[in-house]
Structure 1
Amino acid sequence: MRKIFVIGIGAGDPEHVTVQAINRLNEVDVFFVLTKGSEKQDLVRLRQEILERYVKEPAYRVVEARDPDRDRTPANYETAVTDWHRLRTDVYERMIRDELADGQRGAFLVWGDPALYDSTITLVDAVLARKNVEFGYDVIPGVSSLSVLAAQHRTAFNRIGKPVQITTGRRLAEGFPADADDVLVMLDANNTFTKFPDMDVFWGAYLGTPDEILVSGKVSDVADEIVTRRAEARERKGWIMDTYLLRRT
């Protein structure tokens, strides 16, 4: 039967790739890559760099497919994501069915950790649920962008005896969680941290890559710098991946 590996490859530094991940990379016949347009080709190149560095006998194939576009300003966010996932499931099913022979092993290389704000596991399960193609799969954890963020700022997610919460910019815009003092925020395109001027922020973009940017301090002191540097970086590269820790002082 076909076998799929969902492999976390870290936040951007090839040295984030774990020994377990390297061992699985060397068992793969076909690597599946969803491309996101010319502005994100450096993400494809980083995947290729990882394969060239760690795969000892490069007899693998790389199969690329265009990632379906998603409505970024939907009237209903959940409906838009559901529709996008359906289109992505179609792509995943087609690649596994048409590009992976019985007995072969395929892999999806996932940024950060597959368990944290990534849809790959959900999509693989959706393909299995359709029952049009049979395969087994394993998940290999990776170093998350949040782990890199904390390490680069030399801080921890939480303080002694205190809870920590992971959320999105969309949810943070509804208000800072009442029962948490330390909140890790992902997928925030609107600089929502600026709504909390009295808190501390630890922000990072392109973590683990040569383009990495780090800013920290009281929000009222560093908000303008973060907003400016974020906009400049996104304009320069055509995309941005960033995250931050927001902390009550």
Structure 2
Amino acid sequence: MVAAVKVRILGVGMGPQHVTPEVAGALRTVDYVLAAEKADDDRLLALRRAIVRAHGGAELVALPDPPRDRSERLSAGGYESAVSDWHDARAAQYAGVLKERGGTAAFLVWGDPSLYDSTIRVVEKVRALLEPHVALDFDVLPGISAPQLLAARHRIVLHEVGKPVHVTTGRRLQEAVAAGMDNIVAMLNPPPERLDFTGLDDWTIWWGANLGAPGERLVTGRLRDVLPAVADARAAADAYDGWVMDVFLIRRDR
């Protein structure tokens, strides 16, 4: 059993072209990279391999991703419980590998680790599982986030002059609207047909999927006019890349 292990949590944006010099340097210091494998043909795992090859060529250790309850009708509490159980299962897997291998390991995080990603939380769970027999230390390096990419692609500022921007998930969009938010970035979105856009027909949307990837798609306009185009573009991005991650800004017209 090893006595200590180091973990580096590295934000990598949406691929090799977004890896900062700081993160590239960090990748060259690690002994191996840990990653979840979600399918036999996991194209996001393949993209992680490309990033690793481009920056030092460390071994990539892929572990089958534990199952998670993704029922559409989960309550807020049920969703949080399902995610917590999933994180626990991931932490147990990672703890086993780190305990056996030791050394310095890395996790590659899409976008930035600080925004709608739970790698930091999972590593904290890993540390708790390893203590007191194995000391785990970790650091975090930032990456280019999805909202940053969205704003750049649409050539916009995410907020109006002196105004706030509210960041939430697609499933909580109507909660934000009910709370009086009228300039909202939504991430972790289901397909458009499962989003509740009730009462938002006259709002403007700036939407993007797979930003920075070959299948990148962008749509903007008044919501009532472009919602069908959003659905079509999301399907096209998924078909092209084999995966889809989308983000949007929605704003009430003044």
Equivalent residue in structure 1 for 2:14, among 4, 8, 11: 11
- Counterpart mapping for 1:74-223 below 5 A: 74=74, 76-100=78-102, 104-130=103-129, 131=131, 132-174=133-175, 176=177, 178-191=179-192, 192=195, 194-195=197-198, 196-223=200-227
2:167 and 2:176 map into 1 onto residues whose CA distance is 14
Residues 166 and 184 of structure 2 are in contact (CA less than 8 Å); yes or no, is this contact kept in structure 1?
yes
Residues 203 and 243 of structure 1 are in contact (CA less than 8 Å); yes or no, is this contact kept in structure 2?
yes
Residues 217 and 237 of structure 2 are in contact (CA less than 8 Å); yes or no, is this contact kept in structure 1?
no
What's the TM-score once normalised by structure 1's chain length? 0.90
Q: Deviations over 1:31-68 (max 9, x none)?
A: 111111135x221121121122222xx4x322110111
Structure 2: 5+ residue stretches without partners:
none
1:240: Cα distance to partner? 1.5
2:205 and 2:85 map into 1 onto residues whose CA distance is 34
1:235: Cα distance to partner? 5.4
2:136 and 2:87 map into 1 onto residues whose CA distance is 20
2:222 and 2:61 map into 1 onto residues whose CA distance is 45
Residues 193 and 219 of structure 1 are in contact (CA less than 8 Å); yes or no, is this contact kept in structure 2?
no
Q: Deviations over 1:132-164 (max 9, x none)?
A: 532211001100111111100001111101011
Partner residue in 2 for 1:61? 59
Q: Deviations over 1:191-212 (max 9, x none)?
A: 2264311100011111110110
1:228: Cα distance to partner? 2.5
2:158 and 2:240 map into 1 onto residues whose CA distance is 30
Identity %: 40
Residues 218 and 233 of structure 2 are in contact (CA less than 8 Å); yes or no, is this contact kept in structure 1?
no
1:186: Cα distance to partner? 0.7
- Inter-CA distance 25–175: structure 2 relative to 1 (3 Å threshold): closer
1:228 and 1:213 map into 2 onto residues whose CA distance is 10
Q: Deviations over 1:174-224 (max 9, x none)?
A: 351544331100112142264311100011111110110011111011111
Structure 1 counterpart SS, 2:177: coil
1:2: Cα distance to partner? 1.7
Structure 1: 5+ residue stretches without partners:
none
2:241 and 2:148 map into 1 onto residues whose CA distance is 24
2:37 and 2:61 map into 1 onto residues whose CA distance is 10
